[in-house]
Amino acid sequence: MQKLLFFLGKGGVGKSTASSLTSVYLAEKKYKVVLISIDPAHNLSDIFETPFSDIATEIKTGLKVIEIDQDKWIRKYLKDSEQQFSKAYSYLTAFSLDKHFSVMQHAPGIEEYALLMAFNTIVKKYSKHDFLIFDMPPTALALKFFALPQISLFWLGNLMKIRREISKKQKIISTLSLGNKSIERDRVIENIENQILFWNEINSLFQNEKITFPLLVQNPDKLSAAEGERIIQKLSSVNMPQTLPILNRSNVIKGMSFILNIPKLKSGVGFENLLKSLKKIDFLSLMQKLEI
């Protein structure tokens, strides 16, 4: 069964380093791995000393790397949305409302929708790979990303109720004026139903503890720990699986245990240096948690 690993944490704690080391380790164990950065400020190209893009680059057998082009996915999301609106509302062009879609690229929440579209596409495209490892953006955007399916389902549920009421009234008026003539299927309701199916699929994936593994990267400092607690609480509120803690840049914090400890590394960047760094890290606890 494919597993999704999400590396989360405060900006600057070392999410990219931790996700890169884990990806290299799993690839060395002969698993098929895709490492994906969905952080708008990508770091993977710097860590591997290799230019990456929205198109997967294989850096060794079994290990591909992708850096999501957020602007490209925003454009794709807006184009798809415009097409859906045009189908549901045939009068859209007549009122010149289609011109306003250019403004939507700056709308609140557009980043999360675009990133989730990219996420869904990648999950389906690489469904035969053992691990998809996501280097997440800093806390605020990451939490919105995980909350979006439930927020969208709540909004769509209420929108469906309103649309059904409108549809009932339309049918009554049509029956009075057209008699028993058959009425065309409500394309708006059909679109809402499709959206509900899409978001339910994503939501179920996020909540599946056999597939989804949130990994919280922390440093040995109070700010990192405090933000880590807030992340755990927020993920719990949207019914995400248990968050697994990773300690970076230290071997131990008194009174706390971690699924993975990454000491301060001096090997430098690049694939070969990442390989050398693996010798200083014990992945056993993480592998046991992943049931491999």
Q: Output the pLDDT for position 104.
A: 58
Residues 29-53 as b/e (b if ≥16 CB within 10 A, e otherwise) read eebbbbbbbbbeebbbeebbeeebe
Query: Which has the higher per-residue pLDDT, 188 or 285?
Result: 285
Evaluate whether residue 175 is within a structural domain: no
**Minimal CA–CA distance to 10: which of 242, 205, 245, 237?**
245
pLDDT for position 191: 86
Listed in sequence order, the residues at least 6 apart from 84 whose beta carbon sits closer than 8 Å to its beta carbon are 191
**Does residue 193 belong to any structural domain of this protein?**
no
Task: Give the separation between CA 220 and CA 128, rounded to whole angstroms.
Answer: 37
Residue 212 parent element (H or E): strand 212-218
Read off the pLDDT of each residue in 238-260 and give the average, rounded to a whole number. Answer: 84
* Closest C-alpha to 62, from 41, 36, 35, 39: 35
Domain count, the chain: 1
pTM of the complete model: 0.87
- Say if 27 falls within a structural domain: yes
Span 8-21, pLDDT tens digits: 999 999 999 999 99
Q: What is the mean pLDDT of the chain?
A: 86
Q: What is the residue whose two structure tokens read 């971690």?
A: 258
Q: Residue 175: which residues within 8 A CB-CB, separation 6 or more?
A: none
The answer to whether residue 202 sits within a structural domain is no
- Amino acid identity of residue 60, one-letter, is K
- Residue 167 is assigned to a structural domain of this protein: no
Q: Is 56 a member of any domain?
A: yes
In a domain, 170, yes or no: no
**Among 69-73, 94-98, 251-255, 273-277, where is mean pLDDT lowest?**
94-98
**How confident is the model over 244-270, as a mean pLDDT?**
81
Residues 73-86: pLDDT tens digits?
988 888 887 777 66
Q: 63 forms bridges with which residues in the sheet?
A: 33, 60
For residues 156-173, one letter each, b for 16 or more C-beta atoms within 10 angstroms of the residue's C-beta and e for the rest, the string is: beeebeebeeeeeeeeee
CATH of the domain at 71: 3.40.50.300
State pLDDT tens for residues 123-178: 999 999 999 999 999 899 999 999 999 999 999 999 999 988 887 776 655 554 55
Report the pLDDT averaged over residues 257-279.
87
Residue 89, Cβ density class (10 Å: 0-12 exposed, 13-18 middle, ≥19 buried): middle
Question: Which of 115-119, 176-180, 189-193 has the highest mean predicted lDDT (pLDDT)?
Answer: 115-119
Residues 21, 42: Cα–Cα separation, whole Å? 16
Task: Give the tokens for residue 197.
Answer: 């199916």
Instruction: Take residue 146 and report the two structure tokens written for it.
Output: 């995980």
In this model, does residue 188 exceed pLDDT 70? yes
For the cut 70, the answer to whether the pLDDT of residue 93 exceeds it is: no
In the structure, what pLDDT confidence band is assigned to residue 197 with cuts at 50, 70 and 90? very high
| 290 close to 213: Cβ distance less than 8 angstroms | yes
- Percent of the chain at pLDDT exceeding 70: 84
Q: What is the CA radius of gyration of the chain?
A: 23
- pLDDT level of residue 248 (50, 70, 90 thresholds): very high
Let me know if residue 107 belongs to a domain: yes
Check residue 106 and give its pLDDT: 57
User: Could you list the residue range(s) of the whole structural domain that residue 57 is in?
Assistant: 3-147+210-235+243-289
Regarding beta strands 212-218 and 3-8, do their DSSP bridges make them parallel or antiparallel, or are they unpaired? parallel
